[in-house]
Amino acid sequence: MDRMAQRFLDYLLVERGLSRNTIASYGLDIAQFIAYAAGRDVGSPQALTEELILGYTAWLLEKNYAATSAARKSSAVKGLCRFLYTEKAIEKDIAAVIEHPQTPKRLPDTLTRDEVISLLSRPDVSTDGGLRDRAILETLYATGLRVSELIGLTVGSVDLEIGFVRCIGKGSKERITPIGEIASDYVRQYVSRCRPALVGSARVDGLFLSRRGKPLSRVSIWKLIRKYALQAGITKPLTPHTLRHSFATHLLEGGADIKSIQEMLGHVSIATTEIYTHVSREQLKRVYRESHPRA
């Protein structure tokens, strides 16, 4: 089982092009399933049965896993079983019995436009660190980049004259997304005024750097956002992804079409992007409740 599981993970990396973070999550979920099977004296792919698979999905719910976690773990097992079947390691497509636990549709957390303005204005741009942080916040909100995409930006991947950013998204797929004039201006100031001192004599391609001249981490981006959110008096849960959600929601509210938003976010399926139409509907409901005399 372990050997076939590793072949499946290699397949996801090489042929499906999934990110290493996604594959690491799959690996943990599959390892849990293998341990479950071993506890029931099943140690080879040939010994897998539909009853075992159904028992595992029921066990996940008995252990009180959140519906989203149970669905993710079931999906990993389903992918493994499909792989075993296509590789002829098992004779029957037992993955067909897996039905993912229903997950409630959760609207993403977003900031209001006033909250975004308050957050972006917190860094002290008279200092090098503050200017860098302002450029980071402006870029996140102006482009809707994931934090992994932001920290992967290089100086050459940002064309401030034309107003586009080239990034590498999920599955190592490249996309180009616009960056507005305000964000471009702050990035330009950061590159000319602050970045040379951070780089020093080293050769570093990364755009946004730490005080030691190293690429920033996801955690460091999260920490700086939390710091400025507290300064702005924003108490709602806030992560780099909140700015991505706010970017998409504000575009939709401003009249952008869903297909263009899908392209800018780098979503493979438009169904993923359509959640923002629900956010917009919530906005309509709020306006209705506040405005209509019989609401």
Q: Which of 168, 160, 156, 161 is nearest to 138 (CA)?
A: 160
**How many CA atoms lie less than 13 Å away from 256 in the CB half-sphere?**
21
Q: Which of 7, 82, 175, 241 is catalytic?
A: 241
Q: Which of 167, 222, 216, 168 is nearest to 190 (CA)?
A: 216
Q: Which of 26, 141, 190, 276 is catalytic?
A: 276
Question: Residue 10: CB partners within 8 Å, gap ≥ 6?
Answer: none
Q: Which of 166, 175, 218, 267 is catalytic?
A: 267
Residue 132 annotated to the active site? no
Secondary structure percentages of the chain, helix, strand, coil, to 5? 60, 5, 35
Residue 241 annotated to the active site? yes
Q: Which of 146, 195, 245, 250 is catalytic?
A: 146
Neighbours of 98 (CB within 10 A): 18
Q: Which of 195, 244, 245, 250 is catalytic?
A: 244
- Distances 155 to 151, 165, 184, 257 between C-alpha atoms, Å: 11, 10, 12, 30
Q: Which of 82, 100, 166, 170 is catalytic?
A: 170
Would you say 84 and 67 are in contact if contact means Cβ atoms under 8 Å apart? Answer: no
Residue 292 annotated to the active site? no
Residues with catalytic annotation?
Answer: 146, 170, 241, 244, 267, 276
